[in-house]
Amino acid sequence: MKDLSVTLSGVKLDNPIIPASGTYGFGQEFLPYYDINILGSLSFKGTTAESRFGNPTPRIAECPGGMLNSVGLQNPGVDHVIAHELPELRKVFHKPIVANISGFSIEEYVNCVSKLTKEEQVEILEVNISCPNVHGGGMAFGTSPEAAASVTRAVKEVATKPVYIKLSPNVTDIVSIAKACEDAGADGLSLINTLLGMRIDLNRRKPILANVMGGYSGPGIFPVAVRMVYQVTGAVKIPVIGMGGISTARDVIEMMMAGAKAVQVGAANLVNPYACKEIIEQLSIEMEKLHIDRLSDIQRV
């Protein structure tokens, strides 16, 4: 029997597979397909202080090796999530939950973290710093070490659960940002978020997305994600959740050999609703081929 269990900041997961925020909603959509309790955990839809409709449509575009999305953080707001979504999720999912939190100001991040840290089943707070800083000219918090550190310090003051900062790949030096988050008290890191991309409709001679540009995800970004996870895990001592284009069990093991302690599966869920289930089922088979008895024993190459 292969041991698939992993541990993130003292939180033990039966396996390292976590559906990525924004690709799994609050879990309800996947109930008709399989028992979602086979998952290690799940990262629910990115939540902001107030409800958001998101960006105008069209906001999805297909492309080779993946997809573009410009959904724009559509969500019902943190109070609705706590009052309605989490109670419903608890009825069907009995494992630790990763709460994905977004914001447009430090005050908004702190507000959401202070509320979600009190939720019993929430074991990890995943703070997405790819959102524009409305008080800093619209640049994302995750594009500079100083801004990333300021968010980290602020949320750590109110968090009673481990804080993982989700990093953007749309930077020149992700390592300096990762180290700034670690120095500011982050318990872990999640990377990578989507890459900025664009498609043009040749017939209309206009961008396909109403927002012009969007986040590129899917297998096409996997090598970039592996590279960035490898660079970051070589520079920090805190655990990293790796993500970006993972769609097979072999991808999971490769990402863990790059230094990740667990992984998130994103775009694959939108292509194949059974993706996470199939990956978990294949992990033991691939471990046997590679003579791996415990996933937690995998060392960074």
Residue 64: inside a domain, yes or no? no
User: Under a CB-based contact definition with an 8 Å cutoff, are residues 194 and 245 in contact?
Assistant: no
Q: For residues 209 and 191, give the distance between their C-alpha atoms in angstroms, rounded to a whole number.
A: 24
pLDDT (tens digit per residue) in 269-301: 999 999 999 999 999 999 999 999 999 999 999
Sheet hosting strand 188-191, strand order edge to edge? 17-19, 262-265, 240-243, 188-191, 163-166, 122-128, 97-101, 42-43
pLDDT over 90 at 137, yes or no: no
Q: What is the pLDDT of residue 131?
A: 78
pLDDT over 80 at 99, yes or no: yes
Q: Which residues, other chains included, contact 9 with Cβ-Cβ below 8 Å and sequence gap of 6+?
A: 124, 162, 164, 187, 188, 239
Percent of residues, the chain, with pLDDT higher than 90: 94
Q: What is the pLDDT of residue 130?
A: 86
Average pLDDT, the chain: 96
For this structure, is 181 an active site residue? Answer: no
Domain count for the chain, please give it: 1
Q: For residues 74 and 54, give the distance between their C-alpha atoms in angstroms, rounded to a whole number.
A: 4
Residues facing 8 on adjacent strands: 11
Residue 207: inside a domain, yes or no? no
Q: Which residues, other chains included, contact 169 with Cβ-Cβ below 8 Å and sequence gap of 6+?
A: 191, 192, 193, 194, 195, 221, 224, 225, 228, 244
Q: Which residues of 49-71 are buried (b: 16+ CB within 10 A; e: fewer)?
A: beebeebeeebebebeebbbbbb
Environment class of residue 301 by beta-carbon count within 10 Å: exposed (0-12), middle (13-18) or buried (19+)? exposed
Q: What is the pLDDT of residue 133?
A: 65
Q: Which two tokens stand for residue 83?
A: 């009052």
Residue 35 DSSP symbol: -
Residue 29 DSSP symbol: G
pLDDT over 70 at 64, yes or no: yes
pLDDT (tens digit per residue) in 205-216: 999 999 999 999
Confidence of residue 138 (pLDDT cuts 50, 70, 90): low
188-191 and 122-128 beta bridge pairing: unpaired
Residue 293: inside a domain, yes or no? yes
Angle between helix 249-257 and helix 222-233 axes, rounded to 10 deg: 30
Residue 32: inside a domain, yes or no? yes
Residue 61: inside a domain, yes or no? no
Here the CATH number for the domain that contains residue 166 is 3.20.20.70
pLDDT over 90 at 140, yes or no: no
Q: What is the pLDDT of residue 46?
A: 95
Residue 57: inside a domain, yes or no? no
| List 112, 131, 181, 276, catalytic entry | 131
* pTM (two decimals): 0.97
Residue 266: inside a domain, yes or no? yes
Maximum separation of any 2 CA atoms in the chain, in Å = 56
pLDDT (tens digit per residue) in 165-223: 999 999 999 999 999 999 999 999 999 999 999 999 999 999 999 999 999 999 999 99
Q: For residues 170 and 174, give the distance between their C-alpha atoms in angstroms, rounded to a whole number.
A: 8
- Domain range for 250 is 6-51+72-196+216-297
User: CA-based angle 175:177:178, to the nearest 5?
Assistant: 65
pLDDT over 70 at 101, yes or no: yes
Provide Rg for the chain, Cα atoms: 18
Q: Distance from CA of residue 13 to its chain's centroid? A: 16
pLDDT (tens digit per residue) in 213-271: 999 999 999 999 999 999 999 999 999 999 999 999 999 999 999 999 999 999 999 99
User: Under a CB-based contact definition with an 8 Å cutoff, are residues 101 and 128 in contact?
Assistant: yes
Mean pLDDT of the region 6-19:
98
Residue 100: inside a domain, yes or no? yes
Phi, psi of 246 (to 5 degrees): -70, 125
Q: What is the pLDDT of residue 260?
A: 98
137 half-sphere exposure, CB direction, 13 A CA radius: 4
